[in-house]
Each structure stands twice: as C-alpha cells, then as structure tokens.
A and B are shown apart, each in its own frame.
Chain A
Amino acid sequence: MARVSQAELVRVLTGIVGADNLSTSRPDKVAYSADFWPRAQIWKLAGEVERYPPDCVVWPKDTAEITQILAYCHEHLIPVVPFGGGSGVCGGTVPIRGGVVIDVKRLRRVLAVDPVSLTVSAEAGINGQHIEDHLNAAGLTLGHFPSSIMCSTLGGWLAARSAGQFSSRYGKIEDMVLGLKVATPDGAVLDTAERAPGAPDWTQLIVGSEGTLGVITEAVLKVQPLPEARRLRAYRFRHLADGLKGARAVMQAGLRPIVLRLYDPFDSLMAFGKDPEQKTSPRTRPFDAIRSLLSSPSGGAHDDAPAKKVPGFLAKRLEPWSKKAKHAAITTALSAPTLLNRLAQAAPSPCLMIVGFEGPAEAIHADAIAADELLTACGGVDAGARLGESWLEHRYAVSFKQSRLYQLGAFVDTMEVATTWDRLETLYHGVRSALSPHVFIMAHFSHAYREGCSIYFTFAGYRKDAARLEQHYERVWQLATDAVVANGGTVSHHHGVGLSKMAAMPREHGEMLRVWRALKDAIDPHGVMNPGKLFPDTTEVAAGSAGGAARSMVRS
C-alpha cells in the first residue's frame, strides 16, 4: 500500500498493456485532462490548458488487462478514471486526482447478436455509431441515438445513463440493458445478470455509477428490428400549456412515438426560421447570431435542432461590421440577460412540436392518425411533415467544437432536468425566472414518457474576465439546481452528474446516499475509482490522500 513512483507505475502498467498502449506524453495528458464540460473550457480561457492531467493513459485490450490494472491501482491507492469517448459534458472523466486514465476504446467487439430474442452483447468501448452499424447490417437497431453517437461509447452511455433522441419509444439506455459485466478494483469481474432470488437488481445499481464503482467491460442489451417505415410531423400550439397537454395525451394513450418534442416560444421561433416555406419573422433576426454561436457540444445543439448557419441575409448584413463590433453587440446583449430574455419571451410565436413514429407501415399510419386527433383536440395545428423531417435529417449536425461564444469570453451550457407532468410547467417557469437575471436562457421539452417529461435548458452567460466568468458559471449552476430541486425536478435526465452537479446530490437523494456509501465501501473500499465524482462524500482517495491537492498517490 505504499506510494509508488511514476517510473514504477509506468513500468508495471507497461508490463500489462505494452509500451504502445501507455502514454505519458504531454499531448495525451492534455487531451485526457478534460471532457466536454464547459467549465474546463473556461479554465482554458484562463490559460490553464491542463488543470488536471492524469499521470498516464492506458489503452488495455481486454477485460483481463483491465482487472490487472485495477488490482494494482487498488493495492497502491492510485486513482483510476474510466474513459469512453470523453464526450461527457459534466467533467466525469476529469482526473482531478491524477492517476491512471483507462481508455476502454480497444474493447470494441460485438460479441453476439440474437435476432430471435432481439439482444446484442458487446464490449463497452465500442463506439455508438459502430454498434448501430453492426446491428443495422443484421436488420436490427439499438434505438439509442444520442446526438453524440459518433463520439461516445456503450460503456459511457451506461455509466452516465444516457438518453437517445428516440427515448420515448425505446427508453433510455438503462431501459435497454439486460445485464453487464463490471471489473471491480479488487480484480474481480462481476456479472449483474447473475441475480439470485431475493437479491436486488444489481444492473440498476451499477448503471449510472459513472466509473466510481468499476469499469464496465461488456453489456447485453435489447435491440429492435429495423423499422419498416418512419413518419414525422410538426404541430403548432398557441400556448405552451396546450402543447404540454397534447404531449401528455399522446403518451398516456399508450402511443409510443419515437420522438415528441415541444419547443418554447423562443426556441420555436428559431426552429421556424429553418423552415424554407415559413417566412422568417424579422423578430428572429437579432437572435440568429446568438443562436448560431450557441451551437456547441454542450451548448444546446446536441439535443436540439441542428446548428444553424448564420442565414444569408444576416451574413450579408453582418459582413460590413468589424468582428469587434459583432462581438461587442453580442457581449453587450449577454451582459443584459434580463432584457434579452424579456425580448425573447415577447416573441409572438406559437410553440412548435415535432412528433414521429416508426415501425410497421400500417401501424405507424394508425399511430399518426391517433396522435393527430389527440393533438388537435388540445389546440394543435398541423404544420406539415417538412419541419419534422428536417429535424430528423439534421439531428446529428452538431458542432464538435466548443461554441464560438467562448472566444468572446462567454460560456454556453445546457441542463436537462425532468419531472412528472403535474409539475412540468412550474419547473419550467421556476428555472426560467431563477436564471433570467443572470443568463440568456431558452428551452424545449423532449424525452416524453407516460408520467412526465424532461426539459432541456440552454443558457449563455458573460463576464469580462475569465476568473469572474468561472465564478459566474458556478453561481448560475447553483441557482439553476436550487430552482430545479425547489420545483420538484431531478437535476439530470441524461447527462449525468460528474463534477458539475455533484453539489446538488445530497438534496437530490437525501438519506438514500447511505446506500451509495455502502455500495462504495463494498465494491471500492480504497476509493480509487474515479475519486471526487458523482457524490460529494467520495472525494477522498482513501485516507492517505486527505487534503491532497488533486494529486494522486503517484510520486512524480
């Protein structure tokens, strides 16, 4: 249990994974020091390119190598951070205590596909699009389509309870998983499908653990036949409340749309602007520039309409402006969020809803008619198929670069919350009014279920210097999560917790966190797995690191 030197760590791990599959190079350390968490971007703005570098990065090839690495780190109290695609937006993979980053992407095989029972078994490091391609070739689909599908992994989805755009029909990843294998710090590999009579459901006690209990190495999931047909349509509602009523009616009638999303007036205004047949309202113009700047991995575009290019007319108008003037206009607008939000709220826009079905052609035809009846009865007006189809077409057109707003010294972030139908509107207004004085904010409702729905907020804030920007960012998140909890919502529907929402966890779970502590003590008694993440009381890597300023047990 002694501290080990960096050289010793590298020697031992090289012995396990081979020299080609371990790195201590600076570029790798920088690359693995952050995920898509906006706050890490703010650090970079402040000149800290690698605030929390790992001691080394390893790319094991199989479960056996992972168990050896874990056993070694467990014995020597070395922090371990599992790493999938690194597309997380909550800081889940930031190695705040240094240590070893285990990138699982070499575990990428599809192990078995059962077209009769409709299941797939695959290794956890497989890229999301690759598993989908593999299934498509067999006439199947996983039905899990996060906007990050091309840059995230199966293990990362399971670790963070991801949701795809079609979750209303196929569920979130936790609804699809039948069992998983997890390598634990003591060098064991546990199979959650081995649930003895009278035992709890281990699968759901591991899913969502964000790398803090072990490394997920394999999973068995439900799959579906590739749909014969798909249909999407848009509806307009005069009032948000009517749209929500319609969404609820559809879900509670037992219909299972693949997608059902409702944009608030301002978000709709932006979405309507994309409709070539729809005349763009002049009132949208001032917002288009901001909208295009907002499009970033964590800036709304990924769970939203596609990143929209600055429209031609606007480009023409902006052309003569100097870059500086443009930036000044945007930063001035973001400095007065109350005004900007009022303006946005005053937008005389209906709320846009996209609803779609897929499956056997005849069945989805019937589904669409039933949905139409229900939505019309709630005041919805059919806005045709084009908007829906355009949403589908562009749904992966997300930016994998951070938003250009950061270059202006601003930030963009998103918060995906959820609650039951009875509290949804209150939650929406509660969060809006809590944040409106501080940031520019917009929202849409997506991922609808029988008993409730999630709300996806996008917000942008600005401060003149990076240090104050980070403070501002922290304050905004505090206000946002407070408002969510106060209005009976959960602070995360699918992005997970990581570092960003950790402070809200005691209020989210209350005394239930005891279960967490017991689980952690039973599975990771030395606290080496992804320390300092998910729940506040796991911040210390065993006793030896107490007070440790984010450095691991490794001596450099």
Chain B
Amino acid sequence: MSSRPHAVGYLDELRQIVPTEQIEPQLDGDEGGGSWAVEPATQVELVEVLRWANQRHAAVFTRHPRRSDAQPPFSRRPRIYLRGRRMKRVKDLDVVSGTITVQSGITMAELDELLGERSFTTGFPTRPWRQESLGAVLAAALDAHWGPRYGAMESEVVSLGVVFPDGTAAGGRGAPRRAVGPDFDRLFLGSRGRFGIIYEATLRIYPSAGRVALSYAAPDLATALATVHAGLLAGLDPRAVEIVTPAPDREWGKKRVGLTAQNPVLVLVEPWGPIAGRPVSWVDDHFAEKLVKLEPPVGWNVHEGLLPAPRAWTAPVVALSWRELEALAAELGGDVPAGLWLVRCSEHGGWLSVAAGIEGQAADTVRAALVAHSVQKPTMWKRIQDQLKAELDPKDILNPGLG
C-alpha cells in the first residue's frame, strides 16, 4: 500500500496547526509516511505539533535529517524535524535577580548579542557553538567539549519549561534553591531530547561590564596545574579558569598570543572583577609570579580561536579530580599534547578533553586517562532510563532510536 495519500493527509493536518510557511517538506519523505521540517512559532504550536505527532505515531527529531531516517524502522512513520528558530522570544529579562527567561530556539550568538547590549553575559562560552540553539545546547551538549565558564551547565539553569511527548507543557519559573523533592529539570538537561522538548529556560546572567581576562603561559601541564590549584586554595576565587594547548593547525594563533615552544600551555583566568573584594592585582600577582604573563591579554574569543573547529571535538570530556590531573601531568612530564583543553577548574578538579586526530605519545597518555575515568559501559541506570522513556513517551515518538 502506498503511503503517499497518508503523507498528503498528514500535511493538511499539520497545516491546521502551523502556517504553511513553517512547514518544509523533506525530499526523502515521498516514500514513507511523509517527512517535514516544522517550525513552531509559539509554545501553543509546539504543543499542538507534539499532540498531533503522538496521535499519528510520528517520529519527532530535534536534529537534522539523516539518510538512514528514510529506512526502517522509521520509514513508514511520518517524520517531523522540529526547528526552534521561530521560538526565540525573551519572556523576562530580570536584571534585579540576574536571570533571563528565554525561548529555547534562540541561538547562542543571538543570546550573547542580546545580553551584551544590556551589559550582561551568560556563563556559557558562545563562540564554538554560535549557531546552535539554546535548546540544543541544553539538551545535547552537556557531555560535549566546552563547559560553561562559571559553573556546571546545570548550575547555570534556574528552571526549564518542557513539553512532554504527548504535548503536555510543564515547568515554572524556579527559585534560587528548593527542597521540594528531586530536581526534575535534570531529567531533560543533557539527555538529548529523549524525554521532552525544552521550549524555554531561565538562566543565570552576569554583568559583563567588569569582565577582565588575564592570560599566562606555562612550560608544561604540571606547572600550569600547580599554579591554578594553589591560586584556588589561596582563595583567589576567580569566576573561571581554563588551561589550553592550541591545536596543531593554529600555529598563527599561537604566535599571536605569545605562546612559545618553551611555554606552550595557555592559562586563562577571569577574576570576578574589581568590585568583588579581592583585587584583580592579587590574581595577577599570583599567576605572574609563577608563569609568563601574556600581553595584551588573550581574552576568551581569541582563546577559542586557538582550538580546533567545534566539529573536531569528538572526543569525550571527562571530569578529573586534582589528584588524577596531577598524576596525569606527572606522567606527561614536559611533553604536552596539542589540542588539550581543561575547563571549569574548581577546588576539586576540572573537565578535560583532547581534540580528535592529535597524534603522539602525549595525546595517547591523555586519552588513556580520559578512558580510564569515563563511564564506558551501560550502567544499571540504563534500565531505569529505558523505563522512564517507556512511561513518558510510550509511543517512542521523541528522537526515537537514541537508545
């Protein structure tokens, strides 16, 4: 039986929910139940699209179409590729509390610009993922290679608004802290759109006016780590610290910022700013005493230019404690691989990754450490995750095939 008539009927039904210009038929949809990119413009439209998808047992993806989608098991199901780009309304910019509530379709670049105009910033680095939507970042990028600068990604989120697969919306404005049961938002952060669509988020924002980034060069990883660790323990309390070694194809950037063969490791520090009590000069004194100060300071945007393109970051990013980091540095000695990136350094450790495609013994050593400290095999949580999926999305409409 040809499913073409179905597809036509489905399209008509979709048109009742969203205007035609918000529906873009996909080429591979002709053969199966139909395939469309759909751009809801409001929360109501999103809810209706999901209700429809649930009724029609459609497959709803929050990613780009793939050739394999037209093959079984999805080929006979109508397929929807949700695009959030029309949902980018700022619902509330609360400068008193330092939060923004914004729809999830806004791109990171747009959000950055919007906040920048008002002298605010999020805790997220924006350059590597400028064109990604906030929703995609929250739902999918937790285990990617860039962490928010000011805390864990989860801690930058005050609350979420989500739509469940059956079209029910949930979520609220949130509070600074709560003790009213588990934090249900965490089910959606980082789980790649398995359980619901994040349509809105309330994020912490920070004044950008007082931002200063200081940069230093270290001879090896051990020295860089020791200096950072000592600074944190001395109570320098910076907003962010990262350690970077430029990717091999970024020689020009390396020279530009002043890294040399003797001092190849970049240490970037962002103090809280002059009003935060501890003078910026303290931070500078501490780091400049042990490392080579880079003048002019590199700044976050340039440092991101030292890294390979986001596409190259396919290796996992793994949390390592200071003990583990120090053991790794000792093993590396003076040999530091290019493309190393340590983010979100705190008194307890940091998140480490090394770009894909870097060769050599040092890179292998780092990779071995990452493997040793990452969760590899399916854990006992897998059963629970599957059960949650079965209960919240019994028809498996949302990003099916994710496992």
Q: Which residues of A contact B (CB under 8 A)?
A: 114, 116-119, 160-163, 167, 172, 174-175, 178, 188, 190-191, 194-202, 204-210, 222, 224-225, 248, 252-256, 359-360, 363-364, 366-371, 374, 418-422, 447, 449-454, 488-497, 501, 505, 508-512, 514-519, 521-523, 534-535
Contacts and interface: CB of A to CB of B under 8 A. Distances in A.
Contacts of B348: 117-119, 178, 222
A522 B349 contact: no
B278 A367 contact: yes
16 contacts: A118-B347, A163-B179, A200-B191, A204-B186, A252-B98, A253-B273, A256-B237, A359-B235, A363-B235, A418-B177, A420-B97, A447-B177, A511-B170, A512-B172, A516-B182, A519-B182
Contacts of A447: 177
Among A161, A201, A255, A453, chain B packs the most CB atoms within 10 A around the CB of A201
A194 B380 contact: yes
B234 interface: yes
Contact of B187 (A194, A200, A449): A200
Nearest to A363: B235
Interface residues of B, number: 75
A392 to B, nearest CB: 20
Contacts of A191: 379-380
B90 interface: no
Contacts of B175: 418-420, 452, 489-490, 493
A370 B275 contact: yes
Among B96, B143, B179, B387, chain A packs the most CB atoms within 10 A around the CB of B179
A484 to B, nearest CB: 10
Given A205-B183, A208-B179, A254-B239, A511 B164 contact: yes
Contacts of B98: 252, 421, 450-451
Contacts of B99: 420, 451
Interface of B: 94, 96-99, 143, 154-155, 158, 164, 168-173, 175-184, 186-192, 194-195, 204, 207, 233-237, 239, 272-273, 275-279, 282, 316, 321-324, 326, 347-349, 374-375, 378-385, 387-388, 391-392, 402
Contact of B321 (A114, A167, A209, A534): A114
Contact of A208 (B154, B171, B183, B384): B183
Given A253-B276, A515-B187, A518-B391, 14 more contacts: A118-B322, A167-B177, A196-B381, A197-B374, A201-B186, A204-B186, A256-B237, A359-B237, A363-B282, A418-B175, A454-B176, A490-B178, A521-B391, A522-B387
A522 to B, nearest CB: 4
Nearest to B233: A225
Contact of A449 (B96, B177, B375, B388): B177
Nearest to A257: B277
Contacts of A195: 375, 379, 381
Given A493-B178, A518-B387, A522-B384, A119 B235 contact: no
A117 B322 contact: yes
A512 B381 contact: no
A152 to B, nearest CB: 14
A517 B390 CA distance: 12
Contacts of A518: 387-388, 391-392
B97 A451 contact: yes
A512 B178 contact: no
Contacts of A207: 182-183
**Top 10 A-B pairs, shortest CB-CB distance:** A254-B272, A117-B321, A511-B170, A370-B277, A161-B179, A452-B176, A420-B97, A522-B387, A254-B276, A367-B277
Contacts of B402: 198
Given A197-B143, A418-B178, A517 B391 contact: yes
Nearest to A525: B387
A209 B181 CA distance: 5
Contacts of B235: 359-360, 363-364
